[in-house]
Chains A and B, each alone.
Chain A
Amino acid sequence: MTTEIIEARRLTKSFGSFKAVDDLSFTINNGEVYGFLGQNGAGKSTTMRMLLGLIYPDNGTVYIRGREFNNRTRHLLAYIGAVIERPDLYLYLTGWENLKLFAHLSGKEITSARMHEVLDIVGLSGREKDKVKGYSQGMKQRLGIAIALIHDPELLILDEPTNGLDPQGIAEMRFLINRLSKELGKTIMISSHLLHEIEQVATNMIILHKGRKIVEGKVADLLSPADTSVKIRLTPDEAVITKLKDSEWKGQISSTQVGQITFKTDPKNVPAINSWLVNHGAEVLQINVTHSLEDYFLSLTSEDHAAAGTI
């Protein structure tokens, strides 16, 4: 059964004349992984901070489990675990001491067995007695997640958890998030400025731009294969293009220009299209597979598509 964990209703926040979040509404339901996508400065962190009561909205309300969240109902934070931006910890304490300290603040009785369990989940078993100042960035991030998980919350809010990690750390973090979602059934809200990162872990996606929500939906719907754009660069050959326009692929051609053909097709058709071109005498120089949503998202970095309902 779908249960609403958090609802953000018409959140607005300005810092001076800068509107960081503008009339933003969305709902987080249990069992899903929500990707919160946007460029740097899009309002992701501000929104997450408002959900956690770190920043107060100028307008709008946050509901946790159907109850209005404010300074008098901070006990509702027991439903949530969070790592906001960097996992800053007490560097002069050990991993175990950090975990124990925050476990005591979680509002629940936490046993040593539970502490060992979460350390095992995040892959820090055996390193808990080391001082945190000796941890790598990835280890600090995982300890931050252990702290967020310690009281077994329903929802995990992770703000850019792969920031500052090396490729191996990013892969480990992705694996951990998938495990938390699939094996432990956690609802997760994760922010990133990278679409492919969200694509790999999220079931739902919300895209923010200049504080406004511009896209929301299921990742499977938003990134359906039919919306994939395949750009093929080849040596200029008019005859091949003419033949192609009469072939079985003609319905999937979206544009042609000298030395380049663009298809709107399922990525699994790419080998067949490539074979057809080679068999008809074309020299294929480069194949680029991109999703229209990715194109759209990349275009946000240079253009203003902030008006709601653009997509």
Chain B
Amino acid sequence: MLRLELFKIFKRPRTYISFGIVAAIALVIELAMYADGKNFINFALQGINEQFDLRGNILNGYLITYIILQTLLVQIPLLVALVAGDAIAGEASMGTLRLLLTKPQSRSKVIIVKFVASLCYALLLLLWLAIVALGLSVLIFGAGDMINLKSDAMVIILKDDVLWRYIAAFAFAALAMATVAALALLLSCFADNSIGPIVGTMGIIIVLMIFSTLDLPIFSVIKQYLFTTHMVGWKAFFDDPVPYKAVGTSAMVLLVYTFLFLGASIVWFNKKDIQS
């Protein structure tokens, strides 16, 4: 059944638009860096250059990948929501949901398979991002020690210590995308048109991200419980030392939300009258 779901997803031309968007954004940033990267680096490091003498290939593939990943913080969840939000609602609007559910398959299985298929899509999208961002950037700009500029510190990670961090960051991002996929799937169960779940997912993520990033006392109590606060946990792999406890907590929160959304989807979908 999973094979069939993936077949349906990857037979749709619009599925590949996401891959095109990711490639386009990565390429644009890479081209811009290729053309004007030195000025950008000088501007970014102007305060630091006065106190430190930074030498070597600073504008390297690892740094550019980090910049690309920061840029795609909102876009990737949107692209995942495009598929997961369409999983049930899209079938309902096409009318294929009722045909699908007249077959001797359990509704819980339908939901789980659709979630796993959405997750596979998200993983492939992240893999594609790794190829066009990390692979291509390293190919064009070469590898080197990576500078991670934070608001209150600068972390320099040695060249040989970077790659595993990217692998871990992509794995963590996959977990975050699982949460997004589960949320979009839950909203998809409530709708008979995929626009609502896609916009709804993005709306929730954007609103919660604002809560997560605003340093106001009123939000500080709740932000630790919001999944959006923990979605950016991949960045922790570029700290030195890596705060494993915080990463573990973030991963646990994302897992809990994922199972919560998925469980709610299963319960709701099993009770739903199919009238589309």
Residues of A participating in the B interface, judged by any CB pair closer than 8 Å: 49, 52-56, 71, 74-78, 80-93, 97, 101-102, 104-107, 144, 147
Asked if B274 contacts A105 (CB within 8 A), the reply is no
Contact code string B1-35 (vs A, CB < 8 Å = 1, else 0): 10010011001110000000000000000000000
* Contact A92-B11, Cβ < 8 Å, known A74-B104, A104-B1, A107-B104: yes
- Bound Cα distance from A49 to B272, whole angstroms: 12
**Chain A residue at minimum C-beta to C-beta distance from B93:** A88
Asked if A74 contacts B8 (CB within 8 A), the reply is no
B94 interface contact, C-beta 8 A:
yes
Asked if B106 contacts A71 (CB within 8 A), the reply is yes
Residues of B participating in the A interface, judged by any CB pair closer than 8 Å: 1, 4, 7-8, 11-13, 94-96, 98-107, 270-271, 273-275
Closest CB of chain B to A45's CB: distance in Å? 9
Q: Which of these, B8, B12, B94, contacts A101 with CB under 8 Å?
A: B8
- Bound Cα distance from A100 to B258, whole angstroms: 32
20 intermolecular pairs with C-beta atoms under 8 Å apart: A49-B274, A49-B275, A54-B101, A55-B274, A71-B107, A74-B104, A74-B105, A76-B104, A87-B99, A88-B94, A88-B98, A90-B8, A90-B11, A92-B13, A97-B7, A97-B11, A101-B7, A104-B4, A105-B4, A105-B100
Closest CB of chain B to A72's CB: distance in Å? 8
* Contact A107-B98, Cβ < 8 Å, known A90-B8, A92-B11: no
Q: Which of these, A77, A86, A90, A91, contacts B104 with CB under 8 Å?
A: A77
Q: Which of these, B11, B94, B103, contacts A105 with CB under 8 Å?
A: B103
**Chain A residue at minimum C-beta to C-beta distance from B96:** A88
Asked if A144 contacts B99 (CB within 8 A), the reply is yes
12 more A-B contacts (CB under 8 A) besides A54-B274, A90-B96, A105-B4?
Answer: A54-B101, A71-B107, A71-B270, A76-B104, A77-B102, A84-B102, A85-B95, A88-B94, A90-B94, A104-B4, A106-B103, A147-B99
- Bound Cα distance from A84 to B99, whole angstroms: 7
Asked if B102 contacts A80 (CB within 8 A), the reply is yes
**Chain A residue at minimum C-beta to C-beta distance from B272:** A56
**Chain A residue at minimum C-beta to C-beta distance from B275:** A55
Closest CB of chain B to A261's CB: distance in Å? 49
Closest CB of chain A to B129's CB: distance in Å? 25
Chain A residues whose CB sits within 8 angstroms of the CB of B1 once the complex forms: 104-105
Name the residue in B98, B104, B273 with the highest tally of chain A Cβ atoms < 10 Å from its Cβ: B104
* Contact A53-B95, Cβ < 8 Å, known A97-B11, A105-B4: no
Give the 5 A-B CB pairs with smallest separation, nearest first.
A88-B95, A105-B103, A77-B104, A54-B274, A107-B104
Asked if B104 contacts A78 (CB within 8 A), the reply is yes
Q: Which of these, A78, A81, A86, A93, contacts B95 with CB under 8 Å?
A: A86
- Bound Cα distance from A140 to B47, whole angstroms: 68
Chain A residues whose CB sits within 8 angstroms of the CB of B98 once the complex forms: 49, 54, 84-85, 88
- Bound Cα distance from A71 to B273, whole angstroms: 12
- Bound Cα distance from A84 to B102, whole angstroms: 9
**Chain A residue at minimum C-beta to C-beta distance from B107:** A71
Chain B residues whose CB sits within 8 angstroms of the CB of A88 once the complex forms: 94-96, 98-99
Chain B residues whose CB sits within 8 angstroms of the CB of A84 once the complex forms: 98-99, 102
Chain B residues whose CB sits within 8 angstroms of the CB of A55 once the complex forms: 273-275
- Bound Cα distance from A82 to B13, whole angstroms: 29
- Bound Cα distance from A76 to B94, whole angstroms: 26
- Bound Cα distance from A250 to B244, whole angstroms: 102
* Contact A77-B103, Cβ < 8 Å, known A55-B275, A105-B1, A105-B4: yes
